[in-house]
């Protein structure tokens, strides 16, 4: 009696590989139908790889060595409906700063590459996210120009072993490399975890709106004719 061939189980590793492979296979990764990007960055402090699919289903595999940060990256992908794979090796014996900032750099570059000339996108995104006693308001403009407003106050400097100041560092690196306007305001909140989580959830939702293809928009959404 012949044995049935065993089916190979697909785990987190296979997802990272398939997302990376799909991005690298694209001849035109910034077209309407394949808005994907793969970015690698290697320095003496970190080695980062980010694979991004703007038109995904919210699957995320984040392995940065910083547990809380992985948790936040999951919120961006899940609520933005992006397929996102992030692998990072950094000098965590120093602190988390270089790893978090460099992931922001790479994710911003991936976002810019996947958007291409931004033809047909909605461009703007806005979301208010409640998180128990906290609330975060995030607005984005994929304008091709960088500007960041960050009005957030925390109760204390840590979330576990994660420095809360790194949330701002990540967002500034992301906005600078995606070349976008990013405004973040937390009008109230008392729990550091809830404040940060609300920010990342609202960011995912706002980005989802901004990168969406508008069926009524047949060109670049700017009176200039370009977003750069």
Dump pLDDT digits (tens) for 4-32: 555 545 555 555 555 555 444 444 433 44
Residue 219 falls inside a structural domain: no
Q: Write out pLDDT tens, residues 83-128.
A: 999 999 999 999 999 999 999 999 999 999 999 999 999 999 999 9
Residue 217 falls inside a structural domain: no
Q: What are phi and psi of 196, to 5 degrees?
A: -65, -40
**Interior angle at CA 28, CA 109 and CA 73, nearest 5:** 35
> For the chain, how many structural domains are there in total?
1
**Residue 173: domain span:** 13-211
In angstroms, what is the C-alpha Rg of the chain? 18
What is the pTM assigned to this prediction? 0.86
Q: Would you state the pLDDT for residue 29?
A: 38
Residue 106 falls inside a structural domain: yes
Residue 91 falls inside a structural domain: yes
Q: How many CB atoms lie within 10 A of CB 163?
A: 15
Q: How far is CA 28 from CA 92, 115, 152, 153, 156, in A?
A: 36, 11, 39, 42, 46
**pLDDT band at residue 34 under the 50/70/90 scheme:** confident
Residue 163 falls inside a structural domain: yes
Residue 47 falls inside a structural domain: yes
User: 5-33 as b/e, with b when 16 or more CB fall inside 10 Å?
Assistant: eeeeeeeeeebbeebbebbeebeebbeee
3-state class (DSSP) for residue 46 = strand
Residue 220 falls inside a structural domain: no
Indicate which CATH number applies to the domain containing 83: 3.30.230.40
Q: Write out pLDDT tens, residues 41-59.
A: 999 999 999 999 999 999 9
Q: Would you state the pLDDT for residue 28?
A: 40
Residue 226 falls inside a structural domain: no
Reply yes or no on whether the pLDDT at 205 is more than 70: yes
């Amino acid at each position: 009696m012949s044995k049935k061939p065993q089916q190979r189980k697909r785990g987190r590793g296979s997802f990272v590989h398939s997302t990376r492979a799909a991005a690298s296979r694209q001849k035109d990764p910034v077209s309407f139908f394949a808005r994907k990007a793969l970015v690698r960055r290697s320095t003496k402090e970190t080695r980062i790889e980010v694979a991004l699919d703007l038109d995904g289903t919210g699957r995320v595999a984040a392995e940065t060595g910083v547990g809380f940060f992985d948790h936040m990256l999951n919120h961006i992908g899940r609520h933005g409906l992006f397929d996102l794979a992030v692998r990072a090796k950094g000098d965590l014996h120093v602190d988390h700063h270089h790893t978090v900032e460099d992931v922001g750099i790479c994710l911003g570059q991936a976002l810019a590459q996947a958007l291409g000339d931004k033809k047909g996108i909605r461009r703007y995104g806005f979301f208010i996210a409640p998180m128990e006693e906290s609330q975060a308001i995030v607005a984005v403009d994929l304008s091709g120009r960088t500007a960041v407003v960050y009005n957030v106050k925390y109760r204390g400097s840590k979330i576990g072993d994660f420095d809360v100041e790194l949330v701002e560092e990540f967002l500034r690196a992301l906005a600078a490399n995606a070349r976008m306007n990013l405004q973040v305001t937390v009008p109230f909140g008392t729990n550091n975890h809830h404040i940060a989580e609300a920010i990342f959830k609202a960011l995912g939702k706002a980005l989802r709106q901004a990168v969406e293809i508008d069926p009524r928009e047949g060109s670049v959404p700017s009176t200039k004719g370009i977003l750069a």
